[in-house]
Chain A
Amino acid sequence: MLRKLLFLSVMMLAAVRPALAADLADPKAEFKAFRDYFTSRFPKVPLDDFVNGPYSMDEGLRKQWQEIEEFPPYEFAVDKGKEMFAKPFANGKTYADCFPNGGIGIRQNYPYFDTKSGQVITLELALNQCREQNGEKPFSYTKDDMAALTAYMAFTSRGKRFDIKIPDDPRALAAYRKGEEYFYTRRGQLNFSCASCHVQSAGNHIRTEVLAPALGIMAAMPIYRSEWSGMGTTSRRFTSCNSQVRATPLPPQDELYRDVEYFLTYMGNGLPVSGPGARP
């Protein structure tokens, strides 16, 4: 009898374990679990405040930031981006011709899954596609010109709530899963995943920095970082995160990086655009 019970217990465990470890919920359920995790862990932080990253976690930093925001360091980038956005290409067309609503107030819909090309299109990629379609050379994904353009476009979208969709297309779900896998996979000599810092250690200090929560982490992009003494794009943020854990970064706008952005921005659905942001 005892043997039978033991055998049954082992069989039941064997049946249950893979379900716990391997089976993933659908994106909607994961979105809810992701949000619940952060709101339960930080019950005093209002939901919309998560888009302010480390400032939502630390009162001292928040005060510094509020003073910084009186003369925002990203303002020059917004002005430059506005000029660049309006300036016609050699063929007379402008960026506005490439985007819905003339490119104004649309940041909250990026990245999106393009069912025609079967890939995730980020705002940075869309801007360079626009340039190339109009006979212009693409910008570096990590330098100031791209940061200025995306800063202006984010600024025109401030307060609008992220609305990232996963269309009924297996390739879109696959892109979401690849992004999710990248986010949770440990890499680099320091053996860190994105989640190591921005889920497990969110709100903790790493040296003098406060780690931002993953919830809403894309909302402030692009950002002015005091550490960089300049603006940084999402591409720059991803590559520098990899370098910091001693992992060789992927090329900017690599398909995997775009998938991570897709996954993370989807997790922040419903939160307001706060970019461009300022960070320590």
Chain B
Amino acid sequence: MRLPISLMSIASVAVLAMTAMAAPADDFKAAYAKAEAASKQSAALKTQWTTTVATLKAAKAAADAGKFDEAVTLAKEAEVLAEASIAQGRDEQGAWKDRVIR
């Protein structure tokens, strides 16, 4: 059996559209998971920044509103903030001793 060409075209367009929709959502999930993991690590190290938490929350809100490009950007920003706070904690280990009043 052969499908009419017009029906095949419509189906192809629909599949492409669904793929196009799914890709940003998947991108967001991946970016969010990385950011969330880094944020949890910074919390465990007691070096977390409030801005990391707020940016993660904003990323989730953007994704919930279907704004996936914005959500991915925010998730990546949150990951950078989390990584920076972890680096800060690492740099401060021992550095505080130089500031003690002597």
Contacts and interface: CB of A to CB of B under 8 A. Distances in A.
Contact of A243 (B50, B85, B94): B50
B50 A22 contact: no
A30 B101 contact: yes
A236 B95 CA distance: 27
Given A34-B101, A189-B84, 18 more contacts: A24-B100, A25-B102, A30-B102, A181-B96, A184-B99, A187-B47, A187-B88, A188-B49, A188-B50, A189-B51, A189-B81, A191-B88, A199-B99, A199-B101, A246-B50, A247-B47, A248-B53, A250-B46
Interface in A204-253: 243, 246-248, 250
B43 interface: yes
Interface string B16-45: 000000000000000000000000000100
Interface residues of A, number: 26
Interface in A26-50: 30, 33-34, 37
* Interface residues of B, dominant DSSP: helix
A61 interface: no
B97 A21 contact: yes
Contacts of B64: none
A199 B51 CA distance: 26
Interface in B47-66: 47-53
A191 B96 CA distance: 12
